[in-house]
Amino acid sequence: MKTTVNEVLLGSISGNEHDQIIEVVAIEEKGQSRYEIRLLSFGEGIGWFVQKTLPLDSTQAKALANVLSRTDASFETKLIKQDELPTSKKVINLPFYKS
């Protein structure tokens, strides 16, 4: 049995760099909706290609939309300490030496 996957491009965002584009894509598969944020880069001789993909489920997409829809006045400034990050116990900080 073949599974049908439908993709819809919701938007395309150009930045200051003319060789990169961000795409926001909605994907429906097996009655489930999910989203992807894709970073596309342009390579000479190959054209546009997906360099990175950030998958989001519906809950994450709604939360991201909520965060991005805030006005500047509603942002709460909070400095994040390294030891407060959920992954801080898994990250090994390597010393970098300048010569």
Decide: residue 35, CB within 10 A, 0-12 exposed, 13-18 middle, 19+ buried.
buried
Q: Coil, helix or strand for 34?
A: strand
Distances (CA, A) of 88 to 13, 74, 82, 83: 32, 28, 6, 5
Q: What is the mean pLDDT of the chain?
A: 83
Q: Is the pLDDT of residue 73 over 60?
A: no
The pLDDT of residue 41 is 93
CA distances 28 to 37, 40, 52, 96, Å, are 15, 21, 20, 44
- How would residue 91 be classed by pLDDT, with cut points 50, 70 and 90? low
Residue 78 pLDDT:
66
